[in-house]
Structure 1
Amino acid sequence: MLRRPLPLAILIFVLAEALFLIRLSVPHQFVFDEVHYVPAARALIALSGPTNIEHPLLGKSLIALGMLIFGDTPLGWRFMSTLAGSVTLVSMFATTWLITGRLSPSLIAAALTLLSFTLYVQARIAMLDGFMLAFLASAIAMIAWTLRAGGWWRWSTAAVLLGLAVGCKWLAAPYVAFAGAAFVICKLGDQRRFPGLPIWPALLVLGSVSGFAYLLTFAPAFFYTAEPLTLARLIPFQLEMYQRQTQVLPAHAYQSDWWSWPLLIRPIWYLYEPVDGAQRGILLLGNPAIMWSGLVAVAACWGGWIRHGSPRLFAAAALWTGSLGIWAVIPKSLGFYYYYFPSSIFIVLPIVLVLDHWRTRLRGADLVLLGIALALAVYFFPLLSAQALPDATAFRRWMWFSSWV
């Protein structure tokens, strides 16, 4: 039993942050959607007026904060993303510890999260998805803590974190409903869970507090020099955002269907061009060892829940399944692999819970998986970190399938 996880969690955070910061300024130009979000952050710093209105403000405000600290430089653009990545990693460690109470699966969860590839790439780019996931993962850890210890302040904190996640990207909104459903299912299954929290008051707090936290993220817009937001326009403005979110977009070379993401059929290149004196590339691709074994683990979790009624196996399977399933109903005209980012992290939980639940039968499997995942991380690292490549055709060395090109 790990009785004092905080010192270890702090160490994990520091080590992850150090890793994410290495060569963070390479490349010294916009990468992928930084072309949208860095100018939007500049507009927030200047309070010049609404920019990139299809997304809420919080993620762009955090990018702006990094720029205020370190300047309008690649380090300034991306620094806050590194913190978000480190928070996500620690949250996965904390959630696993709260579920299992054991050191080994908690460390494995942290290691697999770090080796997922997707966390490393997203922690080093000024995009909104990393901030959203940091708040989501923190909220999940807080909910897991509330499940064991109760307390209105823990539940309210989880609600705030969920609201802030929505304040980064609307993709987080379904997770508020997931949290409410999980609370009701757990509470009805055993009244000792979430001690001291009755169902209806808890749901009311979840909805109202998360909604209020979300609306607060629009505070900077009230101070724009052009077209400032007003209380009367706050709600109608949400409709404008929805219209932007659901507009039909032209076809894109790297678009892909949601069902293909878990299979790694079509990853996405964030960068592949000569920059900073060399040919460089950044490929957003999940670690095949983790992504594919994770699918087996999800199936095992569902099967284990059906056979044994294990609530933690159900929770892990349902979280990943729900995180992917929302894309089957979200009215987006185009899909891209980076939408799978939350799922690519949440898939770690089914893996570690399967390894823990059947640890006698699967003895040593965790080390084998970690070894393969680490070897693949070393192999793919040049395409994850924008290392200098020999020439423009060097990418072929890492292309396992033609659909990856």
Structure 2
Amino acid sequence: MIATLTRSKPDQTGSRQPPSDREATLLGKPMPADRVRGWVVTLVLTAIGGLVRFQNLGFPTDKGTPVFDEKYYAGQAWQILRNGGYEDNAGYEYIVHPPLAKQLIATGEWLFGYDGWGWRFASAIAGTLIILLTIRIARRLTRSTLLGGIAGILVVCDGVLHLQSRMAMLDIFIALFVLAAFACLLADRDQVRSRLATAVREGWIGESRFGPRLGFRWWRFAAGLMVGLSFAVKWSGLYHMAAFGLLCVALDVAARRAAGVRRPWAGTLIRDVAPALWAFVGLAFLIYLGSWWAWFASETGTDRHYVEIANIAPGIFGWIPPALRSLGDYSMNVLHFHETLLTPKNEPHPWESKPWTWPMGLRPMLYYYESGEAAAGCGGADCVRATMLIGTPALWWLALPMLGWGLWRWFFHADWRYATVLVGYLAGLLPWFLNLDRQMYYFYATSLAPFLILGLTLALGQILGHANRGFERRGTGLVVVALYTGLVVANFAWLWPVLNGDTITNAHWQAELWLPSWR
């Protein structure tokens, strides 16, 4: 009964009763009625974005080999493909991340072989799916198909998401699964409120001071599944696991309070916290362990028999199977690697950056560079081909205003939409401040990009205003939003040569480097 979609009860004459104030507060503004048009907009923009991601995907390469950090992950994915799902070359350094993303990269290599198309195919698919998810999330947050479409244009035109979708690296997969978890959380929020609205309308919301049980929540289950997949890509998924778990509980408390539950905090603790822990911790860790399936089944996987070979006494952990203990010790070695991956005092990496530079993209990364005869074809003698990870400035340079406005809306207007978006954004940024001596790079900020765009879309929605506020107000808002969207598209078009490795003159290359820190 509580899972039934909320709708007004007909009275004895067959007419619909209007919802009560409490029910209306719970349900909020309804989703747009133009469902078909919403999906048409979503699929058309996703298809356009996919074409942009996939065009000339096999270029550039380093004489047919991967470029930049692709050299690690494309090669490890090839090992995985050869071995049926696991890495076994203990002499090959830097096998320091869980296997899921490399297994996904291996699927492209299985389809197309060991070339640029092969090792980048899965990343391009992930980047295209991010476009689809961002449109649907923005539409749900704003209840506007127009704003969902604008978010889609912005995400297509972001330089970070564009280039990371064209590189065989891991961070685009983190961004995909984190964003998918966020989408599931929003759908769960709406479903919970719909079920509570049913209880309010039917008059049994107050039967318990803790509020009703809400039944099995498939969207919360799916959110836990997605954060588990992000954890199986990189351990940094743990931060989003914790943040989204807390966000889920906070949304439940808010929903129970809006429904008039007498003890919303106690009701959430009693009714919701244990299932949330199962979804965001138990299920997520099972997904993480499941990503190691091939390693567990192997005999030659890296450190598969570590505790036996190193003759490590089990001690109080003797009840744990040796395979799990080997994975634990292997993981401790990996943790030690990450903790001691410090910036050399006298020889820092030339493109290293710290997290306070990421919101505005102040220190991008050069992935590939050729000049002179190797880059001939620009119509002159001094040619350059380069790919550089740059966030579109028309988007990224508004990160701090977006954060400031979002915090204002969150704390002084209790705007849950900004609150949820900022939780996703800050979960990808703040944890990197815990160890500033560690080597860090701008591509770690890939997961920030969709949340930046969602925050900007919410602000654009406020600039646009409601359709019923008058022609002049709405018209002015439309002009401002259209001009800004056009600026982002133009900015992306300007960056296109250095995001895709097109041949340009050296003068053009220098003109692309707007800030001294970009050089």
Tell whether the structures are fold-level matches, with TM greater than 0.5. Answer: yes
Task: Check if 1:378 corresponds to 2:493.
Answer: yes
Q: 2:149 — aligned with what?
A: 107
Aligned-residue offset at 1:45: 1.5
Give the superposition deviation at 1:305: 2.2
User: By how many angstroms is 1:287 displaced?
Assistant: 0.8
Runs of 4+ in 1 over 4 A off after TM superposition: 274-278
Contact 1:302 1:314 in 2 (8 A): yes
Q: Which residue of 2 aligns with 1:3?
A: 35
1:153 equivalent in structure 2: 218
Displacement after TM superposition at 1:179 (Å): 0.8
Q: Show CA shifts across 1:94-153 (max 9, x none).
A: 111222221011111111111111111000010000111111111111111111124522
Aligned counterpart for 1:181 among listed residues 222, 246, 251:
246
Say whether 1:325 aligns with 2:367: no
Amino acid at match of 2:234: K
The TM-score normalised by the length of structure 1 is 0.93
One of 196, 205, 211 as aligned partner of 2:279: 205
Structure 2 partner of 1:247: 340
What CA distance in whole angstroms lies between the structure 1 residues aligned with 2:233 and 2:436? Answer: 18
Q: Distance in 1 between matches of 2:446 and 2:336?
A: 24
Aligned length: 403
Q: 1:37 aligns with which of 70, 73, 78?
A: 73
Confirm whether residue 237 of structure 1 aligns to residue 330 of structure 2: yes
1:68 aligns with 2:110: yes
Cα displacement string for residues 36-57 of structure 1 (whole angstroms, at most 9, x for unaligned residues): 1111111112226055321111
Equivalent residue runs for 1:2-401 within 5 Å: 2-4=34-36, 5-29=38-62, 30-47=66-83, 49-50=88-89, 52-150=94-192, 152-191=217-256, 198-222=272-296, 223=298, 225=300, 227=302, 229=304, 230-249=323-342, 250=344, 251-274=348-371, 279-330=384-435, 333-360=438-465, 363-364=477-478, 365-391=480-506, 394-401=508-515
- Decide whether the 8 Å contact of 2:295 with 2:301 is kept in 1: no
**Contact (CA 8 Å) 1:116, 1:290: kept in 2 or not?**
yes
| 1: CA distance, partners of 2:175 / 2:445 | 11
- Report the Cα distance in structure 2 between the residues aligned to 1:367 and 1:108, rounded to whole angstroms: 9
- 1:305 and 1:311 in contact (8 A); partners too: yes
User: Closer, same or farther in 2 for the Cα pair 1:125/1:201, shift >3 Å?
Assistant: same
Deviation at 1:160, TM superposition (A): 1.0
Q: What is the TM-score with the length of structure 2 in the denominator?
A: 0.73
Q: Give, as a single letter, the amino acid of the residue that structure 2 aligns with 1:42.
A: W
Does structure 2 retain, via aligned residues, the 8 Å contact 1:82–1:124?
yes
Secondary structure of 1:254 counterpart = coil
For the 8 Å contact 2:355–2:429, the answer to whether it is kept is: yes
Deviations 1:60-79 (CA, angstroms, capped at 9, x unpaired): 11111100011111100101
Q: Distance in 2 between matches of 1:147 and 1:226?
A: 42
Q: CA deviation at 1:264?
A: 2.7
Q: Is the 1:221–1:228 Cα contact (8 Å) retained in structure 2?
A: no
Instruction: Classify the secondary structure of the residue corresponding to 1:347.
Output: helix
1:263 and 1:12 mapped to 2: Cα distance? 26
More deviation in 142-151 or 106-115?
142-151
The residue type paired with residue 217 of structure 1 is: S
State the alpha-carbon separation in 2 of the partners of residues 227 and 55 from structure 1. 12
Mapped to 2, the partners of 1:53 and 1:291 lie a distance apart of: 32
Given that 2:119 and 2:168 are in contact with CA atoms closer than 8 Å, whether structure 1 keeps it comes out as yes
Distance 1:358 1:190, change over 3 A: farther
Matched to 1:303, the amino acid is W
Q: Which runs of 5+ in 1 are unaligned?
A: none
What is aligned with 2:17? Answer: none
In 1, Cα distance between equivalents of 2:435 and 2:151: 29
In 1, Cα distance between equivalents of 2:436 and 2:402: 29
- 1:225 and 1:395, CA in 2 relative to 1: closer, same or farther beyond 3 A? same
Asked whether the equivalents of residues 174 and 233 of structure 2 are also in contact (C-alpha less than 8 Å), the reply is yes
CA distance in 1, matches of 2:405, 2:122: 36
- What's the CA shift for 1:7? 4.4
How much has 1:186 moved relative to structure 2? 1.2
**Structure-2 separation of matches of 1:12 and 1:400:** 29
Q: Which runs of 5+ in 2 are unaligned?
A: 1-31, 193-215, 260-266, 305-322, 378-383, 466-472
User: Within 1, Cα distance between the matches of 2:179 and 2:357?
Assistant: 24
- The residue type paired with residue 145 of structure 1 is A
CA contact (8 A) 1:32 1:270 kept: yes
**Letter paired with 1:73:** D
SS in 2 for 1:334: coil
Counterpart CA distance in 2 for 1:138 and 1:177 is 15
For residues 172 and 137 of structure 1, the distance between their equivalents in structure 2, rounded to whole angstroms, comes to 11
Instruction: Determine the C-alpha separation between the residues in 2 that align with 1:16 and 1:198.
Output: 38
In 1, Cα distance between equivalents of 2:48 and 2:160: 17
The one-letter amino acid of 1:342's match is S
Shift, 1:202, TM fit: 2.1
Does the CA-based 8 Å contact 1:272-1:281 persist in structure 2? yes
Residues 8 and 96 (structure 1 numbering): CA distance in 2 closer, same or farther, change over 3 Å?
A: same
- Report the CA distance between 1:228 and its aligned residue: 6.1
Deviation at 1:359, TM superposition (A): 3.0
